Amino acid sequence: MKKLRYIYLALFITFLSSQSRIAFARQNKIKTYHSKIKKLVANKSRLIEACYQRELNKGLQFKNKSLDVFIKITPSGEVDHLGYSYNFSDYGVLCISNVIRTIKFPKNPKGKKITFKQSFRFRAP
């Protein structure tokens, strides 16, 4: 009877450790997914900065030298919605939206919509 208890206990401990490994693997997958998104957006940062510079060249003055972009991504990896910390100009927002919408995001491993925040700091002219 004691042997049977130890066997059950060993099986239970093995089960728990495998569950924690699975949870860790899922969490690691999500972190990898977020880092992929961040890298994809960062790869387009020069184009986004060009949108900002075009508006500066038109003579527009901006209080902020940084911009937060909120990107809502569907489970299939398409851009659903874009939001901004402030609208610096209609053309600038349209320009940045067009750049971000060209990015091919990976599918979400959890199968849910996510909102991702990316901050851009622009250089002074």
More confident residue, 87 or 37: 37
- What pLDDT score does 75 carry? 92
The CA distance from 30 to 37, in Å, is 11
Residue 69 CB coordination number (10 Å): 20
For residues 46-56, give the mean pLDDT. 85
Indicate if the pLDDT at residue 76 is higher than 50: yes
Question: What pLDDT does 74 receive?
Answer: 92
Query: Which tokens go with 24?
Result: 């860790």
- CA 22 from chain centre, in angstroms, equals 23
- The residue segments making up the domain with residue 73 are 2-121
Query: CATH number, domain at 11?
Result: 3.30.1150
Check residue 84 and give its pLDDT: 85
SS3 category, 120: strand
Please state, for a pLDDT cut of 90, what percent of the chain lies above it: 13
What's the domain count of the chain?
1
Q: Per residue in 7-19, pLDDT tens?
A: 655 555 555 455 4
- The confidence score (pLDDT) of residue 99 equals 93
Q: Which of 93, 46, 34, 88 is nearest to 64 (CA)?
A: 88
